[in-house]
Amino acid sequence: MTAARHFESENNLRLYAGMTPAFPDGMRSSKSFRDLRVWQESMLLVEEVYALTRGFPPDERFCLTAQLRRAAVSIPSNIGEGARRRRGGSFRWFLRVALGSQGELEVQLEIAFRLTYCSSSDYQRLMRRTSDVGRMLTGLLASQKETR
């Protein structure tokens, strides 16, 4: 991935720099949830999880493999769904769900590592990306105004 892809919009730049994003109420000034760096990073995470789980034992197909994939897919899916709802409260709720899925993914990656289904380098790389996505979700959630 090129550096330019990370900086496609002002919102991405702000998130990258740790600043408040320019879309405090839902997605008002952003063209699409696809412009969010957290969505882009979570999509890369999905790809990496799928690549990793292809090497898992066949008897894990409907267990840990499915759980890891489901948790990973849930993150960008909830970001997208929440953004499409066009209401700040809904967006925050879906970001919280995405953050919960991120936590599930961390635990499931640890299980995969403890069961020796992945190498230390794969585990560390995926945990780093998973943690980064969690921090971005937390920042985006914190930037959203509460509406009553």
pLDDT tens for 104-144 read 999 999 999 999 999 999 999 999 999 999 999 999 999 98
Q: Bigger pLDDT: 102 or 32? A: 102
Residue 120 lies in a domain: yes
Q: Which residue has the higher pLDDT, 104 or 28?
A: 104
Question: Is 113 a member of any domain?
Answer: yes
Whether 26 is in a domain gets the answer: yes
pLDDT at 22 over 50: no
Q: Which residue has the tokens 């789980």?
A: 53
Examine residue 51 and state whether it is found in any structural domain, yes or no. yes
6 pLDDT more than 50: no
CATH of the domain at 64: 1.20.1440.60
Alpha-carbon distance of 48 to 42, in angstroms, equals 10
Kindly state whether residue 148 falls inside one of the protein's structural domains: no
Domain residues for 48?
3-143
pLDDT of residue 43: 97
Total domains, the chain: 1
pLDDT surpasses 70 at 62: yes
Instruction: Please report whether residue 32 resides in a domain.
Output: yes
Flag whether 90 is in a domain: yes
